[in-house]
Amino acid sequence: MRRRSFLLFGAGAGLYAGPLEDRIRRIEQRWLPVTSMAGERVPAVSIAVFRDGHIEWARAYGVATTTGTLFQAASVSKPLAAMAALHMAQHGNFTLDEDVNAKLKSWQVPDSEFTASAKVTVRGLLSHTAGLTVHGFPGYDEDDDVPSVLEILDGKLPARTLPVRVDQPPGTKFRYSGGGYTVLQVLLEDRFGKAFPELMRRIVLQRLSLYTSTFEQPLPAESAARAAVGFHENGRSYTGGWHTYPEMAAAGLWTTPIDLAKFAIEVQHALAGKSNKVIEKSSAELMVTPHVGPYGLGFETLPGWFGHGGANAGYRCRLWAATDGSHGAAVMTNSDNGALLVKRIFAAIAAESAWPPGLT
């Protein structure tokens, strides 16, 4: 097993006894990289741990894998899209509680009996309470015709998913909806007047110095050279290396754990009133405060913590961060078998760092 890493000592690096390398070694002894990766058929793992506003250490495991290797973030794309939406709301592009159809130009949420008394809003899209269908998306391999976003929203071929429609009263129940974030993608494009990857680059990625990350789908050749190939449960690689996800707000981010850590640190700084590079403190609070159900406007929440998991074809990942800015970690893998390994790694980090149980 080839292991590559770098260490960054943050402001709180002296809070634990013993050298940082000793702590990393104890974490590794808990999750056993060589044994676990071989047993689970996970070719590559990348980890970043942050504390007190700094990336403390990052390490990558696997052949030809570095801390700069790109992975699909899958649904961890959603909180970055939510941050962009909140930024645009702050600047008057729309309000969180108006009917999104008032601002959508290229597509409209179809009216139904469920929208007669309550409309789909940005708040509903971000918190998975808009009453919209379609949980997630399978992606498209290199031999598939890739549908447009509008074809996906209407369930028209070559889309592989059903139409995104309102089938329960908006604002009343939590139901996870990648379809809702795909509606958000169209809304942001309509209001910004740019393609989604470009608006995300300008609003979020560039402002936070996430220079290795991109929402471009399909992945450009220069970035593909740095990407980890996705693998099936049986250990076979995906045709073409990975699937393409035109549902970029819901599942399209390519990134590294280091960039996810930098994103989470910015949210922590915004919560503390220390930064407003993209959003103000009030918007950051909306992201991490439960709405109807376990999600805020972008993040899954637990008491004192916020985060998100991701599961695309060939990739599994997870991000958790403390609301008080003290701790956090991001773990990314390139296998359909990666979920159990991600859970084991988080359990190891949590045990060594005295985090509360349940952050897996």
Alpha carbon dihedral 278, 284, 286, 287, in 10-degree steps, equals 80
- Does 16 reside within a domain? no
pLDDT value at position 91? 96
pLDDT value at position 1? 54
Cα within 13 Å of Cα(336), Cβ side: 13
pLDDT per residue as tens digits for the range 274-318: 999 999 999 999 999 999 999 999 999 999 999 999 999 999 999
- Does 33 reside within a domain? no
- Does 8 reside within a domain? no
Other CB atoms within a 10 A radius of the CB of residue 19 amount to: 11
What region does 178 belong to: left with phi over 0, alpha with psi -120 to 50, or beta? alpha
Core vs surface per residue 253-278: b (16+ CB within 10 A) or e? bbbbbbbbbbbbbbbbbbbeeebeeb
Residue 322 belongs to a domain with what CATH number? 3.40.710.10
pLDDT value at position 356? 83
pLDDT value at position 203? 98
Question: Cα separation of 139 and 158, whole Å?
Answer: 11
pLDDT tops 60 at residue 2? no
- Does 82 reside within a domain? yes
- Does 316 reside within a domain? yes
pLDDT tops 70 at residue 166? yes
- Does 21 reside within a domain? no
DSSP string, 280-296: -HHHHHHHHS--SSSB-
- Domain span including residue 317: 71-353
- Does 89 reside within a domain? yes
Cα torsion 145, 151, 157, 163: sign: positive
The band of 4, judged by pLDDT with boundaries at 50, 70 and 90, is low
pLDDT value at position 272? 98
**What is the identity of the amino acid at 91?**
H
Cα torsion 136, 295, 270, 344: sign: negative
pLDDT per residue as tens digits for the range 38-66: 999 999 999 999 999 999 999 999 988 99
pLDDT tops 50 at residue 15? no
The residues that bridge with 47 in the sheet, in sequence order, are 59, 331
- Does 29 reside within a domain? no
pLDDT value at position 6? 52
pLDDT value at position 8? 46
Question: Cα separation of 133 and 55, whole Å?
Answer: 37
How many domains are there within the chain?
1
Quick one: average pLDDT of 126-144? 97
